[in-house]
A and B are shown apart, each in its own frame.
Chain A
Amino acid sequence: KQEVTQIPAALSVPEGENLVLNCSFTDSAIYNLQWFRQDPGKGLTSLLLIQSSQREQTSGRLNASLDKSSGRSTLYIAASQPGDSATYLCAVEVNYGQNFVFGPGTRLSVLP
């Protein structure tokens, strides 16, 4: 059964720092991997989608990498801002339209 973990569970950094969030999954047979952002009491917003054949994706200050063979993905946030404060979740899609398996999330606080 696919399991997803995220490290750290919580992170607090001063504004301007570069930071890395980690995601690990137990079964490398994935369709894709997505990183989401969740603000308190809100739904999820997709940040980056990495197909299983890709190694990384970039959007603005965000860069996500995928190493299927080792079951790992990282989300790199450059020059963090207080507006980046949120919970970040990674999810692997086992097969299209069947299931996303989510990690527990990393709660990020960026201090002004």
Chain B
Amino acid sequence: DGGITQSPKYLFRKEGQNVTLSCEQNLNHDAMYWYRQDPGQGLRLIYYSQIVNDFQKGDIAEGYSVSREKKESFPLTVTSAQKNPTAFYLCASSVQGLSAFFGQGTRLTVV
């Protein structure tokens, strides 16, 4: 089945630690996105990528980094510089003219 897979579903981070969230898609979509969702708020864009080896900052990129070495993969690293990383993270992909597909999300908690 085609879709987007995010892993892990739950992730715990200690203070000062970097963690990486995985996002893989087998839909052959060019564009991929990372969003953050906080309770009571809409989704906010962290980073997006339109093609391999290229990505752009979204509205809240500080404290995050990404890479796009393969079309299928768009991992997100939450660095120690992100002071309030506890949130629900959603990865998405799209192709021109069609609906966006979302993964099932990763819930990150700082312990």
Contact = CB atoms under 8 A, between A and B. Distances in A.
Interface in A32-76: 34, 36, 41-46, 49, 51
Given A98-B50, A99-B58, A43 B33 contact: no
A21 interface: no
B103 interface: yes
6 contacts: A43-B4, A49-B98, A51-B97, A97-B50, A97-B94, A99-B58
Give the secondary structure class of A's interface.
Answer: strand
Give the secondary structure class of B's interface.
Answer: strand
Interface stretch (B12-20, B40-48, B61-69, B71-79): B40-48
Interface of B: 4, 6, 30-31, 33, 35, 40-43, 45, 48, 50, 56, 58, 88, 90, 92, 94, 96-105, 107
Interface of A: 4, 34, 36, 41-46, 49, 51, 89, 91, 93, 96-100, 102-105
Contact of A42 (B31, B42, B105): B105
A98 B88 CA distance: 21
Contact of B42 (A97, A99, A105): A105
A97 B43 contact: no
Contact of A102 (B43, B97, B103, B107): B43
Contacts of B90: 43-44
Given A44-B90, A49-B98, A96-B96, A4 B42 contact: yes
A93 B104 CA distance: 21
Contacts of A105: 42
